[in-house]
Chain A
Amino acid sequence: MEHDDGVDEHDTPAEVDATFRTLRRVAITHVVLFLAAVMGVPALSLTLGWWSGGRLAGGMSPGFAMAAFGLYAFFLVIGLAAATLSSAVEARMLGGRHDDDNDDYPADGELP
């Protein structure tokens, strides 16, 4: 099912499997970073005195500053990075032209 815009509305199982594996790597890499940050901030509060006892300008500790606004900026950055990379992977690995349309699987242009 080819169209004049060069995009095929038909994915092959091999393409989807390769994309799935790449996206899984992207997701696992990002979730490891995410967990390191979200668990690391309370862990530092429990283990390092200066992290929760030290004072930045004005009196707020580094740990409180991270929990109060630093982590939310990190969530946005990591989410934006993961979404951009995942969409780029899909755009690059799926939707190319196919010479052979006789695949075992029907085109799934329709939502179930």
Chain B
Amino acid sequence: MTVTSAGTLVALIALVALVTLVVRPRGVSTVDFYLAGQRVGVATNALAICGDYFSAASFLGVAAAVYVSGLDGVWYAVGFAAGFVPVLLFVAAPLRRFGEFSIPDFLGRRLASERVRLVAVGVVQIVILSYLVPQAVGSGITWQLLVGRGLPGLSAYATGVVLSTAVVAGMVAFGGMRGTTWTQAIQFLLLLGALVWLAVVVAGSGFNYSAAVGDLSAEPLANPVHDDTGWHLQPESNHLDPTAPATFGQPGAAYGPLAQFALILTLVLGTAGLPHVMNRYFTSPTGTAARMTTVWVLGLAGLFYALAVMLGTAARQQIAAAVDDHPWLEELTVDGILRVPEHALPVLGRIYGGDSGLAVVAAGALVAVMSTIAGLLLAAAASWGHDVYERHINPRATQSQAVWAGRASTAVVALAAGGLAIAMQPADLTPAVPSIVAAMVTWAFAIAGSALTPVFVLAIWWRGTTAAGATAGMLVGGLVSVSMFVVGALPVGPGLGQMLVTPTLVAAPLAALVTWLVSRATTPPDDVERQWLVLHGTAADRHAERLARLTIASLGTTPRRSGHGTQRKGERDADR
């Protein structure tokens, strides 16, 4: 690592730590620690949601999947971006209006059942861990490429995993949701900045996107494999037409016909069940603000994924053409194709920006990992601290004790994720899937979309949903999705195997059906009509808006503070 690279990374960590320090919660209120006081504006929350959502899978994984599989890799970008449309239509506003701290808290209160709450905690923890491990893997891969050396006794990969997880766990425990919101918003802007910079320099060098897709599609798609004879390129099988070669611009390089739809649906339905993303909606001041936040997220996601797909394409063409002029590429490539596809963006950064360019992209990757780890650890803290500790272990806990329980749980979950990431060997898994990081995140989406989303949507939109129905639905969705993973890992044939590892197409309808059948046979909570007023009425929104108007008016009538009042109103209007 050069001095420039090291300086970039140190400056980045220092900036994020400074923001966490400045905006940390002063009190010990759980509403402040978990929900940032429920006063996060639309633009800020949209940026923070993007920081939460755009993980290593989005930054490194989508470009890597496009790099390896062409159009079949683009479906990752489509699925990740599309997931917020169902969130906007079915979840955002009612979820915020009902309030609470977490998905288990919402389900537990809505269905008046502690059993539902505890089952939801179990599912949420599985989703969080499934999502955390690939983030840690992504940070290990990035450290390996950027630094290449580890701490004494640790490999470079393990050092990246340990450092990123430990640093973020410390910042989350210290900063809570308020500190994390601002650091995530800034981290997303840094991440988007890195992507935009790379796109600009690539486009500025004369890269023709459309022509590149055409050129790459003119020849069979081949990728490096390692066997007894060493590294060599192997043409990809065409899963749609075995008699024709797979190409970059046509479907079939990675998935069969059913698996293409299964992958997209898994990602679309999974987003609404991601605990760290859904928890962010509780921090909005109103349901309407939560809905508009999602519109902003859709716009930012579109920009982000369009750039990621473009850069994955550029990497495929430009890296192969750059091998002769950049000897350092030889040890990373086989006949011009990268051995580890997640290296696509960092390598592109180094080609166009030297060591500084590598540092910028690597910093973007680490930022993506850190902001997502932060959101996941906070969701884990809310779930363990609020839903388990406050509800079941120490119901008389003081606010301070509850916050400390949340802080302790971040450390435990971070340790578990780091340990699992170190135990895995991503190099061994890479040949099996287009991008190991994107594929692992897909597992989290699959469990969330199979076990949580159907129950979540039914609880919001169907009065007849009962606690027994929700419990059965979550268990069936979770068990079916995990069982399909396990069977999919066995040698059952490429087409069926790919379908089985994206199981939402089967598991989600099954979970919804079981929830409906069991709910029909049992009794909904007594106060369901009153809950409906809160979920789908806007009285609380209007109350909050009226209070805000009164506060601004009172500040405006106080001569000494009138300037601040006007400024606050302007800021608020701009933010909304």
Binding site for B on A (CB under 8 A): 3, 5, 7-11, 13, 15-17, 19-20, 23-24, 26-27, 30-31, 34, 38-39, 41-43, 45-46, 52-53, 55-61, 63-64, 67-69, 71-73, 75-76, 78-80, 82-83, 86-87, 90, 94-95, 105, 107-112
A11-B539, A20-B532 known; A63 and B71 CB under 8 Å? yes
CB < 8 Å neighbour of B533 from A57, A64, A67, A108:
A108
Whether a CB of chain A sits under 8 angstroms from the CB of B40 is no
Q: 7 other contacts beyond A58-B209, A64-B74, with CB at 8 A cut-off?
A: A8-B542, A19-B537, A41-B78, A59-B214, A105-B533, A108-B530, A109-B543
A71-B78, A76-B302 known; A24 and B537 CB under 8 Å? no
Q: B residues within 8 A CB of A67?
A: 71, 74-75, 77-78, 309
Please count the residue pairs between chain A and chain B whose beta carbons lie under 8 angstroms apart in the complex: 189
Whether a CB of chain A sits under 8 angstroms from the CB of B298 is yes
Measured in the bound complex, the distance between the Cα atoms of B89 and A88 in whole Å is 14
Tell me the residues in window 268-312 of chain B with beta carbons closer than 8 Å to chain A beta carbons.
Answer: 268, 288, 291-292, 294-295, 298-299, 301-303, 305-306, 309-310
Interface range, B side: 35 or more
B249 close to A56 (CB less than 8 A): no
The distance from the CB of B201 to the nearest CB of chain A, in whole angstroms, is 19
B88 close to A82 (CB less than 8 A): yes
Q: A residues within 8 A CB of B71?
A: 45, 52, 63-64, 67
Binding site for A on B (CB under 8 A): 38, 71, 74-75, 77-78, 81-82, 84-86, 88-90, 93, 98-100, 109, 208-215, 217, 240, 249-251, 257, 260-261, 264-265, 268, 288, 291-292, 294-295, 298-299, 301-303, 305-306, 309-310, 313, 461, 529-530, 532-534, 536-540, 542-543, 546
Interface of A, secondary structure class, is helix
Measured in the bound complex, the distance between the Cα atoms of B534 and A13 in whole Å is 10
Q: B residues within 8 A CB of A8?
A: 542
Q: B residues within 8 A CB of A27?
A: 89-90
B78, B90, B291, B461 — most chain A CB neighbours (10 Å): B78
A111 close to B540 (CB less than 8 A): yes
Measured in the bound complex, the distance between the Cα atoms of B93 and A81 in whole Å is 15
Q: A residues within 8 A CB of B81?
A: 71-72, 75
A58 close to B301 (CB less than 8 A): no
CB < 8 Å neighbour of B298 from A23, A43, A63, A79:
A79
Measured in the bound complex, the distance between the Cα atoms of B302 and A40 in whole Å is 18
Q: B residues within 8 A CB of A19?
A: 536-537
Q: A residues within 8 A CB of B75?
A: 42, 67
B249 close to A61 (CB less than 8 A): yes
Interface of B, secondary structure class, is helix
Q: B residues within 8 A CB of A109?
A: 539-540, 542-543
A79-B295, A108-B534 known; A69 and B210 CB under 8 Å? no
Q: B residues within 8 A CB of A108?
A: 530, 533-534, 537, 539-540
6 residue pairs of the A-B complex, CB under 8 angstroms, read A38-B82, A38-B264, A39-B265, A42-B264, A68-B77, A108-B539
Q: B residues within 8 A CB of A42?
A: 75, 251, 260-261, 264
B532 close to A73 (CB less than 8 A): no
CB < 8 Å neighbour of A105 from B260, B529, B546:
B529
Q: A residues within 8 A CB of B302?
A: 69, 72-73, 75-76
Q: B residues within 8 A CB of A95?
A: 538-539, 542
B210 close to A57 (CB less than 8 A): yes
B264 close to A39 (CB less than 8 A): yes
B78 close to A83 (CB less than 8 A): no
Measured in the bound complex, the distance between the Cα atoms of B89 and A38 in whole Å is 15
The distance from the CB of B288 to the nearest CB of chain A, in whole angstroms, is 6
Measured in the bound complex, the distance between the Cα atoms of B355 and A6 in whole Å is 62
Which 10 pairs across A and B sit closest by C-beta, in order of nearness? A59-B214, A58-B210, A72-B302, A11-B537, A109-B543, A60-B210, A27-B89, A20-B536, A79-B298, A69-B306
Q: A residues within 8 A CB of B261?
A: 39, 42-43
